[in-house]
């Protein structure tokens, strides 16, 4: 009875913002940094940042950042021949099933992964490449209305969120992609997105159009804009 | 897209039509429909599916242009307009619900077509630029993002190409920190619930003596273990008269609420208290 | 129809449509058994039996059972010095965080907690002011049902407990607040709670808030130290 009391007393203290650790457990010998890092990345179920890993240690026992970095590098090397790999994404570091093995592992689940409609992907692409962007602007480019369902799906998946409102009548919401979006597609930042096709200079094609009236010039030298 | 790869599955592939440059009115089960059948019933579903294959008028126009290897910078507006209108007419004919955007585009195409017929003055003035310029700009812009969407689809993604690992962690180690609560929050919650109660029921939560309520709980604690508890044990005379009265009222309240039961084996014998129906 | 091909850079068409798997991917060089076993155990999110692992392979390419067993043994040995371990449980084999590391890893979930719901606070308030009270009585006043989860949370937090049962059909439990409840809120007794009548006075809350603001000036934004 009194033991329980003592234990939950520390719990009470925790709610007042004091140290939250099961101290008795942590006061045992500290395991090697690499083991803690590996255990954490394995259990997290998603990416962890360096700070999150450091946060696992009580302040007075926190290893230097470089040590965590070194452990991550060592693990990355260790996994070279394994069924898993350690990758960096926007949300930090993540352990995932090696891509070469993934098709086998995918057979664990009966259902096939979701496919996304072109409408959804085009909307997502516009938000990713043109953020922050309003729904109206997306519709202007796509030439069709964007269904509420698509915006809802993107928001619910936490790939997209409202980051503000354009200061025009109606104050339309401005959408941007999230870190979750980057993590989902295995990207470290928006810069990792496949490059957007170059837009041929409008000034050029104006001229082109004008010239077209007389004689059609050979336009093989300006590459296909995909 | 690095691989030559298969063509876009969404875009219908007319097998024969591309050769002679004729564009089919529709593709039904892969076969091009070159002219409106008069005696043949076309299941509307087939066309709906066809219509669904396009993400809107820009997409349909791109399809028409790409199919015939036309240069997007120099669209033969006459030809394209005619073909586009054929689609629109067919859809209207079949009373398919046609998104308004398709009609808006049809109007735009017709306008461009008519402007193309007018002689253009020799000037570099913006206003007198090629009437197709705006359409071309939009088509190119849309095509970029159409491509970007396809690229996005080929990125490795979670649950399809990536599987995050999840090692088991025995829950005994996980301690949940309960949220902190301010007394004010509780009071505010109480006020709200009372307002609602006032609205929805006739009975009011009358002013209660909290010391009585508290004492009722204490009495229940004392008899919690089951069996009989001497009545006298429920009172602490060091609390003084007020304390004893509150305890007494608490016992009466509990008896009234059918929670406690008072037992006296004979007159003047000691009174005992026990939980009613307590099986422990 | 052809969606899998589109995603695969091999561009290889699936020849027989019978298999549910992205066959074009599986037709690539088969990765070592140990990598497939590791990837599967890592991603499964629970134990896997030998048969389940064998089931990842198309029938004509299934390795012998002993090979899978050997791979499991090899992995077990490999993990000897790591932050994880491979253990056999009733449902098969499972990868888990090494016990020595678990207390550190567990801190990942010690994030700042969510706030309590309005329903929970109302329930707590009614138990405090109307104790001893049954769940049915709380529901009568609130006009909505009280979820089992709320009662469980309050009981686990030791703010509320069962002090008896009303002797009516069903013998509903009677709830009351505890000593811990009083301690947490810094009350000597329930009498320190403001009388109901005061709560009806709008001015009361202004004062209450002002008092709270003065007493704990810097408590509002104690960000996570991490």
pLDDT tens profile A67-108:
999 999 999 999 998 999 999 999 999 999 998 898 889 888
ipTM value: 0.60
Q: At what angle do helices C202-215 and B183-200 cross, to 10 degrees?
A: 170
What is the nearest CA distance from A165 to chain B, expressed in angstroms? Answer: 23
What residues have CB less than 8 Å from A217, skipping those under 6 apart?
A208, A211
Assigned domain for B254 exists? yes
pLDDT of residue C225: 35
A209 to B152: CB separation less than 8 angstroms, yes or no: no
Question: Both tokens of residue B248?
Answer: 């007494």
- Domain match, C65 and C34 both: yes
B122 pLDDT band, cuts 50/70/90, is low
pLDDT given for residue C13 in this prediction? 34
CA atoms within 13 A on the CB side of B47: 21
The answer to whether position A2 is within a domain reads no
Domain membership flag for residue B73? yes
Share of chain B above pLDDT 70, in %: 68
Q: pLDDT above 90 covers what percent of chain B?
A: 9
A104: contact with C, CB 8 A cutoff: yes
User: Helices B44-52 and B77-93 sit at what angle, rounded to 10 degrees?
Assistant: 140
Asked if A129 has any chain B CB less than 8 Å from its own CB, the reply is: yes
SS (H, E, C) B158-198: ECCCECECCCECCHHHCCCCCCCCCHHHHHHHHHHHHHHHH
Is C64 touching B (CB cutoff 8 A)?
A: no
Q: Are residues C93 and C112 in the same domain?
A: no
Is C78 within the bounds of a domain? yes
Mean local confidence (pLDDT), B229-243: 82
* B16 has pLDDT over 80: no
Q: What is the pLDDT of residue B127?
A: 55
CATH of the domain at A92: 1.10.10.10
| Residue in B closest to A97 by C-alpha | B163
Q: CB–CB of B161/C6 below 8 Å?
A: no
Cβ of A40 under 8 Å from any chain C Cβ?
A: yes
Same domain, C91 and C181: no
Q: Does A54 touch chain C (CB under 8 A)?
A: yes
Contact (Cβ atoms closer than 8 angstroms) between residue A122 and residue A108: no
Q: Give the CA radius of gyration of chain C.
A: 29
Inter-residue contact B222 to B229 (CB < 8 Å): yes
Same-domain check for residues A126 and A184: yes
Q: For A125, which of B149, B166, B169 is closest by C-beta distance? A: B149
- Lowest pLDDT segment from A48-57, A89-98, C1-10, C209-218: C1-10
> In angstroms, what separates the C-alpha of B13 from chain C's closest C-alpha?
13
Residue C109 near residue B176 (C-beta atoms within 8 A)? yes
The answer to whether residue C128 neighbours chain B at the CB level (below 8 Å) is: yes
Please give the structure tokens belonging to residue B193: 């619930």
Distance CA B109, CA B135 (A): 9
Based on the domain organization, do C117 and C200 belong to the same domain? Answer: yes
Q: Do C112 and B194 touch (CB under 8 A)?
A: no
CB contact under 8 A, C196 and B194: yes
Q: Are residues C83 and C138 in the same domain?
A: no
Structural domain ending residue among the three candidates A60, A77, A97:
A97
Last residue of some domain: A52, A78, A97? A97
Among candidates C38, C52, C83 on the partner chain, residue whose Cβ is nearest the Cβ of A38: C83
Banded pLDDT at A19 (limits 50, 70, 90):
very low
- C88-147 pLDDT, tens digit per residue, is 988 889 999 998 888 888 888 775 667 888 889 999 999 998 888 999 999 888 888 888
**How many C-beta atoms surround the C-beta of residue B226 within 10 A?**
11
Contacts of C121 in chain B (CB under 8 A): 181, 185-186, 188-189
Whether A204 and A121 share a structural domain:
yes
Count structural domains, chain C: 2
In a domain, A222, yes or no: no
A155, A160, C10: which is closest to B154 by C-alpha?
C10
Q: What is the mean pLDDT of residues B244-266?
A: 84
The answer on pLDDT for C25 being more than 60 is no
Distances in whole angstroms, Cα of residue A12 to Cα of each of A57, B142, C169 = 21, 58, 38
pTM of the model: 0.60
What pLDDT does B217 receive? Answer: 85
Q: Does B35 touch chain C (CB under 8 A)?
A: no
Range of lowest pLDDT (A25-29, A89-93, C39-43):
A25-29
The answer as to whether A201 is a domain residue is yes
Which CA distances in Å does A170 have to A65, A76, A126, A167, B63? Answer: 48, 50, 21, 8, 35
Q: Provide the pLDDT for residue A63.
A: 93
Q: Are residues A116 and A83 in the same domain?
A: no
Residues A131-153 have pLDDT tens digits of 999 999 999 999 999 999 999 99
Same domain for B109 and B197, yes or no, is no
C167 with C203, same domain: the answer is yes
Q: What span, in angstroms and rounded, lies between the C-alpha atoms of B155 and A181?
A: 12
Average pLDDT over residues B196-216: 63
Q: Is residue A11 part of a domain?
A: no
Beta partners for A9?
A: none
Of chain B, the end-to-end C-alpha distance in Å amounts to 74
Q: What is the mean pLDDT of chain B?
A: 74
Q: Which domain holds residue B62?
A: 57-118+127-153
Assign residue B263 the CATH number of its domain.
1.10.10.580
Would you state the pLDDT for residue A177? 96
The DSSP symbol for B6 reads: P
Domain coverage including residue C32: 28-97
Q: Are residues B106 and B63 in the same domain?
A: yes
- Is residue A176 predicted with pLDDT exceeding 70? yes
> What sections of A87-226 are H helices per DSSP?
102-105, 118-130, 135-142, 148-156, 179-184, 202-212
Shared domain for A41 and A87, answered yes or no, is: yes
Chains that touch B (3 or more CB pairs under 8 A): A, C
Choosing from C97, C125, C152, the residue where a domain stops is: C97
**Window from A1-15, A38-52, B145-159 with minimum mean pLDDT:** A1-15
Q: What is the pLDDT of residue B15?
A: 39
Residues 6+ apart with CB under 8 A from C212: B182, B184
Q: Are residues B139 and B211 in the same domain?
A: no
Does C151 score more than 50 pLDDT?
A: yes
Q: Is B31 inside a domain boundary? A: yes
Residues of chain A neighbouring B120 (CB-CB closer than 8 A): 213
Look at residue C84 and give its three-state secondary structure.
strand
Q: What are the structure tokens assigned to A217, written together?
A: 């010039």
Interface of A with C in 105-124 (CB under 8 A): 105-108, 110, 112, 115
Q: Are residues A179 and A146 in the same domain?
A: yes
Asked if residue B3 is part of any domain, the answer here is no
Residue of B nearest to A16 (CA): B180
Residue C12, domain member (yes or no): no
- The pLDDT, as a whole number, for residue B64 is 86
Q: Closest to C189 (Cβ–Cβ): which among B2, B5, B214?
A: B214
Question: According to the model, what pLDDT value does residue B35 have?
Answer: 57
Residues of B in contact with C149 (CB under 8 A): none
Does C163 fall in a domain? yes
DSSP readout, B112-164?
Answer: HHHHHHSPPPS---GGGS-TTHHHHHHHHHHHHHHHHHHHHHHS--BTTTB-B
Q: Which residues of B touch C194 (CB under 8 A)?
A: 187
Q: What angle do CA A139, A181, A123 make, to 5 degrees?
A: 15
Number of domains in chain B: 3
Q: Give residue A158's region: left, alpha or beta (phi > 0; psi -120 to 50).
A: left
> CB contact, 8 Å: A57 with chain C?
yes
Smallest Cα distance from B179 to chain A, Å: 7
Q: Specify the range with the lowest mean pLDDT, choosing from A24-38, A181-195, C174-188.
A: A24-38
Chain A residue closest to B122 (CA)?
A210
| DSSP 8-state class, residue B25 | S
Instruction: Summarize pLDDT for B74-102 with one digit per residue, the tens.
Output: 888 888 898 888 888 877 776 666 778 88
Residue with tokens 């063509």: B7
**Closest residue in A to C57 (Cα–Cα):** A104
Q: How far apart are CA A213 and CA A217, in angstroms?
A: 10
Considering chain C, what is the average pLDDT of its residues? 78
Q: Is the pLDDT of residue B167 over 60?
A: yes
CB contact under 8 A, B59 and A141: no
Range 135-174 of B in CB contact (< 8 A) with A: 136-138, 140-153, 155-169, 173
Q: Shortest CB distance from A143 goes to which of B57, B130, B177?
A: B57
Q: Are residues A118 and A59 in the same domain?
A: no
Q: CA torsion angle for B104, B106, B112, B113 (degrees, to 10)?
A: -160
Nearest C-alpha neighbor of C7 from the set A154, A124, B55, B8? B8
- Share the mean pLDDT of chain A: 80
Residue C70 lies in a domain: yes
């Amino acid at each position: 009875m009194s033991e329980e009391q003592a234990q939950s007393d520390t719990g009470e203290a925790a709610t007042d913002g004091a140290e939250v650790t099961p101290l008795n457990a942590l006061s045992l010998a500290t395991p090697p940094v690499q083991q803690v890092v590996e255990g954490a990345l394995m259990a997290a179920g998603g990416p962890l940042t360096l700070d999150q890993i450091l946060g696992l240690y009580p302040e007075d026992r926190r290893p230097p950042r470089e040590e965590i970095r070194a452990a991550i590098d060592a693990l990355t090397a260790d996994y070279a021949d394994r069924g898993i790999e350690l990758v960096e994404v926007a949300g930090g570091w993540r352990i995932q099933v090696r891509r070469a093995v993934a098709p086998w592992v995918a057979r664990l689940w009966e259902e096939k992964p979701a496919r996304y409609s072109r409408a959804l992907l085009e909307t997502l692409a516009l938000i990713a490449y043109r953020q922050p962007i309003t729904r109206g602007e997306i519709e202007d480019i796509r030439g069709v209305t964007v269904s509420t369902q698509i915006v809802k799906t993107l928001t619910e998946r936490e790939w997209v969120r409202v980051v503000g409102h354009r200061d025009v009548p109606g104050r339309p919401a401005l959408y941007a992609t999230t870190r979750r979006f980057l993590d989902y597609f295995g990207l470290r930042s928006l810069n990792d997105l496949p490059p957007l096709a170059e837009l041929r200079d409008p000034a050029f094609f104006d001229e082109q159009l004008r010239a077209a009236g007389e004689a059609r010039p050979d336009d093989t030298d300006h590459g296909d804009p995909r | 897209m690095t691989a030559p790869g298969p063509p876009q599955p969404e875009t219908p592939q007319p097998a024969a039509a591309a050769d002679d440059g004729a564009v089919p009115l529709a593709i039904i089960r892969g076969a091009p429909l070159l002219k409106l059948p008069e005696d043949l019933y076309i299941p509307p579903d087939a066309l709906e599916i066809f219509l669904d294959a396009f993400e809107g008028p820009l997409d349909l126009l791109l399809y028409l242009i790409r199919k015939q290897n036309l240069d997007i910078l120099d669209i033969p507006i006459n030809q394209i307009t005619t073909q586009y209108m054929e689609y629109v007419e067919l859809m209207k004919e079949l009373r398919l619900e046609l998104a308004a955007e398709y009609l808006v585009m049809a109007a735009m195409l017709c306008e461009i077509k008519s402007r193309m017929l007018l002689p253009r003055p020799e000037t570099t003035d913006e206003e007198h630029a090629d009437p197709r310029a705006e359409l071309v700009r939009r088509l190119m812009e849309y095509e970029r993002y159409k491509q970007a969407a396809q690229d996005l689809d080929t990125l490795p993604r979670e649950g399809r190409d990536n599987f995050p690992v999840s090692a088991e962690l025995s829950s005994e180690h996980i301690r949940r920190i309960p949220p902190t609560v301010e007394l004010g929050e509780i009071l505010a919650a109480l006020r709200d619930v009372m307002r609602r109660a006032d609205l929805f029921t006739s009975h009011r939560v009358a002013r209660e003596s909290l010391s009585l309520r508290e004492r009722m709980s204490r009495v229940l604690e004392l008899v919690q273990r089951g069996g009989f508890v001497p009545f006298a044990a429920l009172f602490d005379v060091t609390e003084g008269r007020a304390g004893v009265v509150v305890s007494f009222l608490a016992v009466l309240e509990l008896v009234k609420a059918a929670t406690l039961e008072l037992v006296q084996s004979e007159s003047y014998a000691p009174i005992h208290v026990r939980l009613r129906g307590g099986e422990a």
